[in-house]
Amino acid sequence: MSPAENVGSEASTDRTPVTDCDVCVIGAGPAGALVASRLAEAGHEVVVLDAGPRFDPSDRLARQERAIRPFYDRPAVWDGDPERDAHSNDGERFYPLNHARVKGIGGSTLHWQGMVMRLHEADFNSQSERGIGVDWPINYEDLRPYYAAAERELGVAGGDNPFAPPRETPRPMPEFQPSYSDSLFAEACDELGIAMHSVPNARNSESYDGRSGCVGYGTCQPVCPSGAKYDATVHIERAEEAGATVIDRAVVGRLAHDAESITAAEYATPDGEYRQEAEGFVIAAGGVETPRLLLLSESEQYPDGLANSSGTVGKFFMDHLFAGTGGLLDEPTRQGHIGFLTSESHQFYDEADAEVGPFKLEFFNYAGPSPVESALTGDDWGDDLLERLRGEYGTHIGMGALVESIPGEDSSIGLDRDETDAHGNPVPEVHWTVDDRALRTIERANEIQERILNELGAEITWQVGPEDTGPAYHHMGTTRMGEDPTESVVDADCRTHDLDNCWIASSSVFPTGGAMNPTLTIAALALRCAESVDAALRGE
């Protein structure tokens, strides 16, 4: 263990390429880690390249200290590097990209909240069922067994949900019990006929897979010191145990290729520049860096970028939107003991149509300021500080909602050729837009939140609505999946239409995003993708 300023020592590591590599995976987040572990366990020679560092597990408490101390912003908790992670924004709404991702072994699961829902059946058929967006080339039944496998791999705790799609077995762990404030919400929701149910968490409610149960640090987002919250280092370790080579601080700047396939990933490290050759390549670098890498790999053969004969690489960038309402009660609400959610409601989710999208309601367990964080920010101390903290804490109550957004192709990730990163590559240019249906959906979510809080007798003191909504940090849609090569980048197996030996494992393949946190779907697709890669390598 070490204090906040002591982290980040760099061990010397061999970052040279591996000979006779079967599969090169780019990105060590959940998708890349799952693909790598599955393929390594199947006997393939696997190399994983990630732009960020390998974090020392013994530094988790120091990172928690960073999360609490006001000096450190969110990117600093996981050693965000503004030069490495440079980007530009030119959309109608600012997108805080470096608050929305972690680069390093484990990827953004290092700072995620850990909610893992399956998409609903209609989410796969948005055009057919709701009259908006596009249909996926696969449906819920196609992904259902992979969802179950993903729940076992990540370790999911959860209970019954009357609105969820059909499932075969209970989740691997029992749900976390409802909070005290859930019981306050329950009385109001009962009066209004709104059903509450448990939240599926990729967080151990008991010991699972060699990791401890949650011990209640309360800093889940952005860091879990106990390891009870799943992060992708779990599957990176599993991949390495099966023989995979994982190279950190390896920034892939280009995919060398011929007309039909990728031949090598060209990457820069602190020690020099290298080429990793392989039979197959899996790009698992998230919804921003994945299209950026394809665009950076332009050539005479592919002047618009790799795998981009459809012209849709980088297009249809989408994120879920947040809607929230909160206030004060005249009684204690017992907030902030844990950093995760225990209750939500999907009751209104499948009412979605072309006018109003799907959304889910969340009941907060951490409304209002954290006393310890607040203690570090004022100009008071002693009795005055304690009096302030007592005044701030105790009666806050709040609700959130996650809302689907289906923007057009003008919402995009491109290249900013006027600005380059530390390696001389054009930085990603984020052009994020929000569609009117999503804004109407936020209004609808706000209305229900107000009804519940009014029934509770709360004084409403804040609301996040259509004007000031923000992203949920789920990057989706920039290399969409589809049957038609002229309108999509990858097929139903996540294999690019244009290149035989290139797959994409990422939320970037989502044609639509629903309103569920995406990581379980990312994991399910990654497991399905791994089967496709394995079959191809075996010549099947």
Active site residue ranges: 474
| Nearer Cβ to another protein (16/183) | 183
Residue with tokens 């509770």: 456
- What is the contact mask toward another protein in residues 349 to 368, using x (rule: CB under 8 A)? ----------------x---
Tokens 């996926």 correspond to 136
Residue that is written with structure tokens 């592919």 in the block: 302
Is residue 305 involved in binding another protein (CB under 8 A)?
Answer: no
Per CB under 8 A, which region of 63-71, 107-115, 118-126, 406-414 contacts another protein?
63-71
Q: Is 196 in the site for another protein (CB under 8 A)?
A: no
Q: Which helix (H) or strand (E) holds 274?
A: strand 272-277
Quick check: 227 binds another protein (CB under 8 A)? Answer: no
Residue 140 half-sphere exposure toward CB, CA atoms < 13 A: 16
Q: Does 394 participate in binding another protein (rule CB under 8 A)?
A: yes
Which of 137, 336, 426, 514: binder of another protein (CB under 8 A)? 336
Nearest to 246 by CA among 86, 50, 73: 50
CB of 398 to another protein, least distance (A): 15
Cα dihedral 178, 182, 184, 187 sign: negative
Nearest to 208, CA basis, from 221, 227, 223, 224: 227
* Using rule CB under 8 A, residue 341 touches another protein: no
Minimum gap (Å) between residue 290 Cβ and another protein: 34
- Beta-bridge partners for 275: 266
Least distance in angstroms from the C-beta of 223 to another protein: 11
Q: Examine residue 517 and tell whether it contacts another protein (CB under 8 A).
A: no
Q: Which residues of 415-430 are buried (b: 16+ CB within 10 A; e: fewer)?
A: bbeeeebeeebbbbbb
Interaction between residue 179 and another protein (CB under 8 A): yes
CA distance 476 to 315: 10
Tokens standing for residue 175: 């749900």
CA-CA-CA-CA dihedral for 383, 389, 394, 400, to nearest 10 = 180
What's the closest the beta carbon of residue 183 comes to another protein, in angstroms?
8
Q: Is 380 in the site for another protein (CB under 8 A)?
A: yes
Q: Does 76 interact with another protein (rule: CB under 8 A)?
A: no
Q: Is 158 in the site for another protein (CB under 8 A)?
A: no
The residue whose two tokens read 């760099």 is: 10
Q: Kindly state whether residue 175 participates in binding another protein, applying the rule CB under 8 A.
A: no
Candidates 34, 29, 64; CA nearest to 50 is 29
Find the binding residues for another protein in span 1-40 (CB under 8 A). Answer: 1-7
Q: Which residues pair with 415 in a beta bridge?
A: 428
- Residue 311 makes contact with another protein by CB under 8 A: no
**Interacting span for another protein (CB under 8 A) from 55-63, 283-291, 417-425, 479-487:** 55-63
In angstroms, the CA 526 to CA 37 distance is 11
Q: Does 216 bind another protein (CB under 8 A)?
A: yes
Q: Which of 98, 219, 345, 496 binds another protein (CB under 8 A)?
A: 219
Q: How many Cβ atoms are within 10 Å of 256's Cβ, its own excluded?
A: 15
Q: What is the DSSP string of 90-143?
A: -SSB---GGGS---STTGGGGT---B--PPPGGGGBIIIIISSS-B-SS-HHHH
Residue 390 CB, nearest distance to another protein (Å)?
6
> Rounded to an integer, what distance in angstroms lies between the CA atom of residue 466 and that of residue 405?
12
Residue whose CB is less far from another protein, 66 or 495: 66
Strand pairing report for 197-198 and 343-345: antiparallel
Told to check if 215 binds another protein by CB under 8 A, we report yes
Nearest to another protein of 22, 65 (CB atom): 65
> Binding residue for another protein (CB under 8 A) from 16, 128, 183, 486?
183
Residue 64 in contact with another protein, rule: CB under 8 A: yes
Please report whether residue 79 would count as binding another protein according to CB under 8 A. no
Stretch that binds another protein, among 96-104, 113-121, 172-180, 415-423 (CB under 8 A): 172-180
Three-state secondary structure call for residue 273 = strand
Structure-block tokens of residue 69: 């101390």
How big is the site for another protein, counted in residues (CB under 8 A)? 57
Provide, rounded to whole angstroms, the least separation between the CB of residue 109 and another protein: 21
Among 99, 334, 423, 451, binds another protein (CB under 8 A): 334
Among 186, 375, 422, 492, binds another protein (CB under 8 A): 375
Q: What are phi and psi of 323, to 5 degrees?
A: -130, 135
From 256, 248, 245, select the one nearest 293 (Cα to Cα): 256
Applying CB under 8 A, which residues contact another protein?
1-7, 59, 61-62, 64-65, 68-71, 176-180, 183, 213-219, 225-226, 331-332, 334, 336-339, 342, 365, 370-373, 375-376, 379-383, 385-386, 389-390, 393-394
